[in-house]
Chains A and B, each alone.
Chain A
Amino acid sequence: MLVSTNWLSNYVDWNELSIEELAEKITRAGIEVDGIIDRSFGMDHIVIGHVNSCVKHPEADKLHICQVDVGGEISQIICGAPNIAEGQNVIVARPGAVLPGGMKIKKAKLRGEESNGMICSLQELGIEGKLVPKAYAEGIYVLPNDVRAGDSALTHLGLYDRILEFDLTPNRSDALSMLGVAYEVGAILSKDIKLPEISYSASAEKAQDVLKLSVEAAEDNPMYVAKVVKNVKVAESPQWLQNTLMSAGIRPHNNVVDITNYVLMEYGQPLHAFDYDRLETKEIVVRHAREGEKMVTLDQVERTLHDHQLVITNGKEPVALAGVMGGANSEVYEGTTTVVIESAYFAPGSVRQTSKEVGLRSDASTRFEKGVDPNRVAEAAERAAQLMAELAGGEVLEGSVTFDELDKTPEKIILSPDYVNNRLGMKIAMDEMKTIMDRLQIPTELINGQLVMDIPTRRQDLKIKEDMIEEIARLYGYDEIPKTLPVVESTPGGLTPYQAKRRIVRRYLEAAGLSQALTYSLASPKDAQAFALETAPVTKLLMPMSEERSVLRQSIIPHLLDATTYNVARRNESIALYETGSVFLGIEEDGLPKEVEHVAAVLTGKWVHHAWQGETKKVDFFVMKGIVEGLFEQLGLLERLQFTKATVDQMHPGRTATVWLDDQSVGIIGQVHPTVQHQRDLQETYVMEMNLQSIMQTATEELLYEAVPRYPSISRDIALVVDRDTSAANLEKIIQQAGGKLLKKVQLFDLYEGKNVEEGTKSVAFSLTYFDPERTLTDDDVVKAHSKVLDALTVQANAQLRS
Chain B
Amino acid sequence: MKEQLHELKEQVMLKIKESHTVKELNDVRVAYLGKKGPITDLLKGMGKLPAEERPKMGALVNEIRESVTAILEERKEILEQQAIQEQLENESIDVTLPGRPVELGNHHPLTRVVEEIEDFFISMGYEIAEGPEVEKDYYNFEALNLPKGHPARDMQDSFYITEDILLRTHTSPVQARTMEAKDGAAIKIICPGKVYRRDSDDATHSHQFTQIEGLVVGENIRMSDLKGTLDLLAKKLFGAEREIRLRPSFFPFTEPSVEMDISCFKCGGTGCNVCKKTGWIEILGAGMVHPNVLEMAGYNPEEVTGFAFGMGPERIAMLKYGVEDIRHFYTNDIRFISQFHRSEA
A residues bordering B, Cβ < 8 Å?
27-30, 32, 169-172, 349, 352, 369, 422-426, 464-467, 469-470, 473-474, 478-479, 481-496, 499, 503, 506, 509-522, 539-545, 549, 552, 563, 566-567, 570, 572, 575-578, 581-582, 584, 590-593, 595, 610, 612-613
Contacts and interface: CB of A to CB of B under 8 A. Distances in A.
27 contacts: A425-B225, A464-B291, A465-B291, A473-B256, A474-B248, A479-B246, A484-B228, A485-B232, A491-B127, A493-B121, A493-B124, A496-B127, A499-B130, A509-B105, A510-B104, A510-B106, A513-B104, A515-B106, A521-B194, A521-B208, A539-B134, A542-B160, A572-B333, A592-B135, A595-B133, A595-B134, A610-B101
B103 interface: yes
Which of B103, B151, B229 counts the most chain A CB atoms within 10 A? B103
Which of B134, B194, B216, B338 counts the most chain A CB atoms within 10 A? B134
A358 to B, nearest CB: 16
A478 B225 contact: no
B332 A30 contact: no
A592 B136 contact: yes
A425 B224 contact: yes
Given A493-B127, A510-B104, A478 B291 contact: no
Given A32-B247, A513-B104, 7 more contacts: A169-B250, A473-B256, A483-B231, A495-B122, A515-B105, A543-B159, A575-B334
A489 B167 CA distance: 34
A466 B288 contact: yes
Given A474-B256, A495-B128, A541-B160, A518 B329 contact: yes
Which of A27, A478, A549, A575 counts the most chain B CB atoms within 10 A? A478
Interface of B: 97-98, 100-101, 103-108, 110-111, 115, 118, 121-128, 130, 132-136, 149, 151-152, 155, 159-162, 164-165, 167, 185-188, 194, 196, 198, 200, 207-208, 216, 218, 220-225, 227-229, 231-232, 245-250, 255-258, 288, 290-291, 305, 307, 329-335, 337-338
Contacts of A552: 134
B250 A513 contact: no
A171 to B, nearest CB: 5
Given A30-B248, A545-B200, A539 B255 contact: no
A126 B203 CA distance: 29
Q: Is chain B's interface secondary structure helix, strand, loop, or mixed overall?
A: mixed
A517 B255 contact: no
List of 7 A-B pairs having minimum Cβ-Cβ separation, nearest first? A425-B224, A30-B248, A425-B222, A169-B250, A470-B256, A483-B228, A563-B332
B334 A478 contact: no
A489 B186 CA distance: 7
Contact of B111 (A506, A541, A542): A506
Contacts of A592: 132, 134-136, 165
Contact of A591 (B165, B225, B232): B165
B151 A170 contact: yes
Contacts of A171: 250
Contact of B249 (A169, A425, A540, A549): A169
A610 B97 CA distance: 11
A478 B258 contact: yes
B173 to A, nearest CB: 11
A584 B104 CA distance: 31
Contact of A520 (B208, B220, B223): B208
Contact of A541 (B107, B159, B225, B255): B159
Contacts of A563: 331-332
Which of B167, B232, B246, B256 counts the most chain A CB atoms within 10 A? B256
Contacts of A513: 103-105
Given A169-B250, A511-B104, A591-B136, A493 B126 contact: yes
Contacts of A517: 108, 332, 337
A90 to B, nearest CB: 38
A539 B167 CA distance: 11
A325 to B, nearest CB: 20
A595 to B, nearest CB: 5
Nearest to B259: A32
Nearest to B306: A486
B334 A567 contact: yes
A465 B292 CA distance: 12
A483 B124 CA distance: 16
Contacts of B126: 493
B248 A486 contact: no
A492 B125 contact: yes
Nearest to A574: B334
A442 B247 CA distance: 22
B107 A506 contact: yes
Contact of B256 (A466, A493, A567): A466
Given A488-B186, A542-B162, A549-B207, A595 B224 contact: no
Which of A503, A510, A518, A592 counts the most chain B CB atoms within 10 A? A518
B208 A593 contact: no
Nearest to A595: B132
B134 to A, nearest CB: 5
Nearest to B160: A542
A514 B106 CA distance: 7
Nearest to A475: B248
B291 A488 contact: no
Contact of A484 (B160, B225, B332): B225
Which of B97, B222, B290 counts the most chain A CB atoms within 10 A? B222
Contacts of A613: 100
A496 B134 contact: no
Contacts of A577: 105, 332, 334
A720 B160 CA distance: 62
A481 B200 contact: no
A481 B231 CA distance: 12
B106 A542 contact: no
Nearest to B98: A612
B227 A482 contact: yes
Given A369-B151, A518-B329, A575-B334, A486 B221 contact: yes
Contacts of A515: 105-106, 108, 334, 337-338
Contacts of A567: 332-334
A486 B216 contact: yes
A422 B220 contact: yes
B224 A424 contact: yes
B78 to A, nearest CB: 37
A192 B290 CA distance: 32
Contacts of B194: 521, 581-582
B207 A522 contact: yes
B223 to A, nearest CB: 5
A6 to B, nearest CB: 25
Nearest to A32: B247
A592 B200 CA distance: 25
A512 B248 contact: no
B61 to A, nearest CB: 52
Contacts of B185: 489
Contacts of B149: 349
B162 A518 contact: no
A545 B258 CA distance: 32
A464 B44 CA distance: 127
A25 to B, nearest CB: 12
A467 B164 contact: no
B313 to A, nearest CB: 11
B248 A516 contact: no
A229 B54 CA distance: 161
Contacts of A572: 333-335
Given A422-B220, A520-B208, A577-B332, A30 B134 contact: no
Contacts of B104: 510-511, 513
A539 B291 contact: no
Nearest to A591: B165
Nearest to A512: B105
Contacts of B334: 515, 567, 572, 575, 577
Contacts of A510: 104-107
Which of A28, A169, A479, A542 counts the most chain B CB atoms within 10 A? A542
A542 B222 contact: no
